[in-house]
Structure 1
C-alpha cells in the first residue's frame, strides 16, 4: 500500500491556516480524569493574536476540569459545507497543550478584547468569574484536505507567517 500522507507544502500550510482562521467552534478531545477515557466536547474557537486557537471555557464544564488535570488535548476544526459528502471537506486535527488565562492575569484584558472582536456573543458571559480563556498551543497536526489529500504538519507549519509563504 502506498503511504497516503503527502509531503507538506505551502498549499497545505495555507489550507490549515484558513481552517484555524475561519473556525468559530470545534470539537475538543480531552482525557476524563475520573475514568481515563477520552471525551469530546464542542467549544467556541477563534484564532488568537499569535494564530493559535483560543477559546473561552467555564470552570463548571467537565472538559475544563479535564484540561486542568491534563492539558494535553486535541482540537478538530473545519466543518462540512452545505452540499456533498461531508468527508470530502477539509478538516484539521490539532494536537495541543492548553494553557489558561484567567481574569486578573496580565494578558487577560487584551486577549478578552481580541476574543470578543471575533466572537461578540461571548460578551454575555466573558466577565463571569468562572470563565477563563484557553490558549491551545499546537504540538502537531493532521490535515485532511479532502479525498486523497492528507498531510502531517508541525507547529512551525501552522505559524501564520510560514503559511503565507
Structure 2
C-alpha cells in the first residue's frame, strides 16, 4: 500500500531549520477567520521573537485581523520566503497553527517586550506607543515544515523551542 502520510519524523536538522525560520523572520503571513465569514483571510504582519523564542507582533486595533483574532484567536502563520534563484517551492517554509494572546499594556511584561521589539524592529518606534497598538504572542499548537521537495515534517511545540 502506498504511503499516504507525507511527514517524516522530526529530527534535529528539521528542528534547526524551523527554529532558524522563526528566529530570523521579520514578517509572516497571518491567516485568520473574519467574524461572519467562513473563508480564511491572509495578511502580512511584522514579527520577531520574545526572549523565550515565542513569535510576537505589534498590531493595530484598527486592523481587521485584530478584530478577527479577538473574536477567534485560532490562526496560522507562514514563515519563510523564496530565495533569489530557483523554484520558490524548493525553499524552506514553516506553517504554524497558533492561538493569539494579546498582551495588556499594563502588564509587567509589556515594558520588556517593548524594549526587545524596538531593539529588533527600530522603525516600530514611530507607532509602538500609539494607543491602538498592542503586542500579540502566538502560542504554537503545531508546525508544518516544508524544507524543500520530499522534506515535510510535522512538528510539536517542543520541537520549536
Normalised by the length of structure 1, the TM-score is 0.94
Extract structure 1 runs of 4+ deviating beyond 6 A: none
CA distance in 2, matches of 1:97, 1:68: 11
CA distance in 1 between partners of 2:8 and 2:39 (Å): 31
State the match for 1:66 in structure 2: 68
* Length, aligned pairs only: 159
- Residues in 1 aligned to 2:82 and 2:126: alpha-carbon distance in whole angstroms: 28
Q: CA RMSD in A?
A: 0.9
Pairing of 1:105-144 with structure 2 (within 5 A): 105-144=107-146
Q: Secondary structure of 1:99's partner?
A: strand
Q: Once the two structures are superposed, what CA deviation does each residue of 1:96-128 show, in whole Å capped at 9, x if it has no partner?
A: 010011322221110011111111110100000
Query: Deviation at 1:47?
Result: 1.5
User: Which residue in 2 is equivalent to 1:14?
Assistant: 16
Q: Judge conservation of contact 1:28–1:41 (CA < 8 Å) in 2.
A: yes
Deviation at 1:34, TM superposition (A): 2.3
Q: Which residue does 2:47 correspond to in 1?
A: 45
Shift of 1:5: 1.2
Q: Structure 2, unaligned stretches of length 5 or more?
A: none
TM-score (norm. length: structure 2): 0.96
Q: What is aligned with 2:88?
A: 86
